[in-house]
């Protein structure tokens, strides 16, 4: 597990106090009197990644979006709404499409070369999620699959060194791959988490060696308790950077908040609550609405169903984004999806829903755009007008003094510091805090000076 959580200055309303601590190992924190004064930096968190490493990160929540398609028009519309963080899938089995490890498809790589270049020019920050078994990779020989995946990831993060964020697998606790026991009735969710930790122990060092500037997210989990516990119990904590969750259900806000608080509780159980928590999928489509509440016009709603579907879609995005701005549960939250068709109850919708002329169920799917990939839906217009990323766009970086609780005699390398109250409370001077990624501060033992 991570070494310790120091002091976190966030508005993450998971606890009543403005402060929360996790001590080194299992010791009880000393009784320290804290002056009754307003903290200078309420939007900054400090996380003790290891004895030799402290992270300082911006807790102002950022909203992003997942996108299956990233054409130039989509990129322009994303930037017009001040969306910069975009999740896009790299399918392992399309890039490495033979049973020969390290043999990559030239056309697939060329497409990625072009995509990464276009995104960089336009200010889009990619989060690349990698999943789907390469040919010849399966559960029976999963250890070899983990090694092969680590080799693949090292090659990709080296080739695309300007891509900062990499998400390892997608909903791997329940589906999309059998490498961690999904689909195996005899493999519990906790055991699946332990298998995932085995993969992390191979992939994470390979990624960091290939590109030390890369950040690694766990794959977005649909389970918020047993699977992440398995990751920690399997010794996986040192081998990923950001915890990551997917939250669905109707109403979506219930899962968005409740499941986030639940996985945060797991992190806290393992003394790791200061680690950044991301959400890389939340959203709703018309099929979810129908499965939960029925066809709108059949419930004496307006005779045309499309407006109702749009209204629920808009309220889902608005409720989740606004709640996260207040609660600061997720550092980054990426909604599903930029332009996705309807994925649920599609046949029922085709037969029974009353939609405007020329519209299909896909126009009321998860997407912020209609099925044509160009027409904005109300949720997109709200995001553009409300601009929840405004503070990040206006002030993406800040240089500030940071307060930290370091009880074991370690001090920062390359920074001036003093003790404002008394040891072990420390003020680290002149820390540049980036809204996109943590600032890493090396630490050394005072005895090593």
Q: What is the pLDDT of residues 178-204, one digit of tens each?
A: 999 999 999 999 999 999 999 999 999
pLDDT at 303: 76
With cut-offs at 50, 70 and 90, classify the pLDDT of residue 446: confident
pLDDT at 122: 97
pLDDT above 70 for 23: no
Q: What is the mean pLDDT of the chain?
A: 90
Taking phi first (over 0 means left), then psi (-120 to 50 degrees means alpha), and beta for anything else, what does residue 132 get? left
pLDDT above 90 for 22: no
pLDDT at 302: 62
Other CB atoms closer than 10 Å to residue 70's CB: what's the count?
19
Are 56 and 105 a contacting pair, CB within 8 Å? no
99 or 36, which is more confident? 99
CB proximity list for 211: less than 8 A, separation 6 or greater: 157, 158, 161
Digit-coded pLDDT (tens) for 295-327: 998 766 667 899 999 999 999 999 999 999 999
For residue 256, give the nearest of 319, 213, 305 by alpha carbon. Answer: 319
Residue 129, CB-side half-sphere exposure with 13 Å CA sphere: 26
**Distance (Å) of CA 283 to CA 105, 142, 363, 426:** 33, 32, 15, 41
pLDDT at 28: 31
Domains of the chain, earliest start first = 8-56+396-448 (no CATH), 60-394 (3.20.20.80)
Are 329 and 14 a contacting pair, CB within 8 Å? yes
pLDDT above 80 for 13: no
With cut-offs at 50, 70 and 90, classify the pLDDT of residue 35: very low
Give the mean model confidence (pLDDT) for residues 93-100.
98
For residue 148, give the nearest of 162, 158, 138 by alpha carbon. Answer: 138
pLDDT at 40: 52
Give the mean model confidence (pLDDT) for residues 279-301.
91
Residue count of the chain = 449
Task: Name the pTM for this structure.
Answer: 0.91
pLDDT at 355: 96
Give the mean model confidence (pLDDT) for residues 242-265.
98
The pLDDT > 90 percentage for the chain reads 86
């Amino acid at each position: 597990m991570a070494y310790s959580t120091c002091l976190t200055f966030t508005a993450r309303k998971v606890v009543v106090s403005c402060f929360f601590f996790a001590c080194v190992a299992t010791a009880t924190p000393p009784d320290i009197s804290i002056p009754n004064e307003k903290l200078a930096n309420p939007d900054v968190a400090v996380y003790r990644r290891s004895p030799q490493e402290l992270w300082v990160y911006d807790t102002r929540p950022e909203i992003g979006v997942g996108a299956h398609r990233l054409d130039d028009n989509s990129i322009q519309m994303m930037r017009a709404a001040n969306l910069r963080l975009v999740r896009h899938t790299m399918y392992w089995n399309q890039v490495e499409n033979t049973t020969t490890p390290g043999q990559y498809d030239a056309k697939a790589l060329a497409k990625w070369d072009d995509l990464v270049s276009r995104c960089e020019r336009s200010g889009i920050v990619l989060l690349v999620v990698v999943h789907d078994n390469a040919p010849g990779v399966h559960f029976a020989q999963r250890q070899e699959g983990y090694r092969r995946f680590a080799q693949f990831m090292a090659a990709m993060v080296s080739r695309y060194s300007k891509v900062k964020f990499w998400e390892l697998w997608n909903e791997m606790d329940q589906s999309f791959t059998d490498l961690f026991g999904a689909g195996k009735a005899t493999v519990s969710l906790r055991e699946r988490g332990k298998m995932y930790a085995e993969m992390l122990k191979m992939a994470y060092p390979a990624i960091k060696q290939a590109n030390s500037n890369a950040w690694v997210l766990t794959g977005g989990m649909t389970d918020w308790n047993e699977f992440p516990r398995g990751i920690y119990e399997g010794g996986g904590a040192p081998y990923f950077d950001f915890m990551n969750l997917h939250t669905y259900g109707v109403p979506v806000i219930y899962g968005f908040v409740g499941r986030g608080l639940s996985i945060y509780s797991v992190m806290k159980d393992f003394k790791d609550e200061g680690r950044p928590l991301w959400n890389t999928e939340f959203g709703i489509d018309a099929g979810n609405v129908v499965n939960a509440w029925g066809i709108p016009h059949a419930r004496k709603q307006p005779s045309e169903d499309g407006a109702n579907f749009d209204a629920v879609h808009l309220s889902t995005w608005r409720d989740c984004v606004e709640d996260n701005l207040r609660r600061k549960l997720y550092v980054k939250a990426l909604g599903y999806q930029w332009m996705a068709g309807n994925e649920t109850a599609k046949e029922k919708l085709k037969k029974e829903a009353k939609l405007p002329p020329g519209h299909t169920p896909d126009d009321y799917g998860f997407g912020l755009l209609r099925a044509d990939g160009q027409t904005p839906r109300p949720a997109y217009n709200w995001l553009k007008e409300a601009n929840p990323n405004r503070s990040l766009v206006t002030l993406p970086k800040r240089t500030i003094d940071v307060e930290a609780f370091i009880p074991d005699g370690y001090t920062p390398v390359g920074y001036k510091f003093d003790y404002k109250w008394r040891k072990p409370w420390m003020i680290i001077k002149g820390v540049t805090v980036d809204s996109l990624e943590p600032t890493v501060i090396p630490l050394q033992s005072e005895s090593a000076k």
